[in-house]
A and B are shown apart, each in its own frame.
Chain A
Amino acid sequence: MLEINPFSILAETVSPLFIQFFILAMLSLIVIGIVVQMIHHKNVTYFFNNAKKAKLAAERELGVGEKTSVILKTVVHDIATTAELGAGKRRIAHVMGMYGTILFWVASIVLVFFYTGEGESVSTIWPIIWHVGAIMTCVGGYWFWLFLRVDVLAEAHPWYRIIKADLFVLALLACATTGLAWSYFQSSGLAGLGYLFLVLFITSNLVLFGGVYWSKFAHMIYKPGAAIQKNLAEADGSRDNLPPLADAPKQFGLGIKREQPKHY
């Protein structure tokens, strides 16, 4: 199952051009959702105002080289490894879900545009990447949603309480889960169940990408932006008005951060 491209089997009944159109439509929905959200929530205005304030409070001006170095360090350390979540389960679950989703989406585009349709070559590695990405998304996502969510861990709400903030994670999990189920039943020759999960897969994709305006989808853009701004503010001395790091050796262990916040 892992080595079979599910889109090439689907292309026997549905035109590959239609599948490609669907992917382009989903990409358009992402762009539209984020742009409308930026206009309505004024997130970008906030970022630029914050940058202006930081520039006024800066103790020294950063050169282009320094800025580039700070941005690169932020990308490698903060963004690629989700450093702001600290050491612990939340970070592992997030990294697993994040890279799983990236693999799942990139492999979807590659499979649909380069390995689906008549006369196209067959790939064994990309279907494996697609399936592994979906499995990683499921493991990281369900772990987070069932056990690590702050609503469950710190607020003591039951795991089945669903709120608006769950729209993104649940739609993403539905995509990965129904995608895997569709691929499995389709490759097993169970056409009925295959079509059922295909419909669910399409629906969950429409909810995920169509709901960008209402969901936390855009955190993928805002969070890296905020991390870069924070590290630039540390480097230029403005530090969002925070005091500088104390000139003292690390001589004690962790206190409050030693434990998970679950003392409800």
Chain B
Amino acid sequence: MSTFVYMTRCDGCGHCVDICPSDIMHIDENIRRAVNIEPNFCWECYSCVKACPNHAIDVRGYADFAPMGHSVRVRREEEKGTISWKIKFRNGTTKDFVSPITTKPWGEFIPKLADGDKPDQGEINSQMLYTEPNGLNIDGKLPSVPKDTFKKGVYY
């Protein structure tokens, strides 16, 4: 499935260009509206669909499991903290869902890596990743499950 843009709704604001993690949403040179330049590389994350202030972006489903007539559309209302989905099936059945937005506020909680201590050679050579093991909250060692608690009859 890949995204496409309704040209009559797009106003060329650039939010989809800004947010696309695959960098495939760009601005068309002839009409200055957003366009998915490489639909095969779209990983269907729906970021652009949710970010578009004009609901100008839609997702085209594969014909084998989402035949003509279906529709999956989303409306993101930031000030309400909700995200609503409307699924329309080919036979006309519709389903509406409303969920809370659970992502962190935009621009916050960005780790300040430059302010952290410079790692020494031992830390660089270690297999531990950044902030590990403290960042994992596991008291310095990986959790282990005692073998005597395993279900009987299962061999490891």
Chain A residues near B (Cβ < 8 Å): 46-47, 50, 84-86, 90, 149-151, 153-155, 163-165, 216, 222, 226, 229-230, 240-259, 261-264
Scoring B6, B13, B96 by chain A CB atoms within 10 A of each residue's CB, the highest score goes to B13
Is the beta-carbon distance between A154 and B74 smaller than 8 angstroms? no
Name the segment of B75-83, B114-122, B128-136, B145-153 touching the other chain: B75-83
Q: A163-B30, A246-B75, A251-B80 are in contact. List 15 more A-B contacts (CB 8 A).
A: A85-B11, A90-B13, A154-B15, A163-B32, A222-B8, A243-B75, A243-B85, A248-B77, A249-B80, A254-B79, A256-B15, A256-B51, A257-B15, A261-B13, A261-B17
Per-residue CB contact flags for chain B residues 76-107 toward chain A (1 = under 8 Å, else 0) read 01111110111010000000111001000111
Verify if B123 is at the interface (C-beta below 8 Å from A).
Answer: no
Query: A165-B32, A259-B107 given as contacts; is B96 within 8 A of A243 (CB)?
Result: yes
Is the beta-carbon distance between B17 and A246 smaller than 8 angstroms? no
Is the beta-carbon distance between B27 and A150 smaller than 8 angstroms? yes
Q: How many B residues touch A, CB cutoff 8 Å?
A: 43
Of all chain A residues, the one with the shortest Cβ separation from B16 is A261
Is the beta-carbon distance between A150 and B84 smaller than 8 angstroms? no
Chain B residues near A (Cβ < 8 Å): 6, 8-9, 11-15, 17-19, 26-32, 51, 53-55, 71, 73-75, 77-82, 84-86, 88, 96-98, 101, 105-107
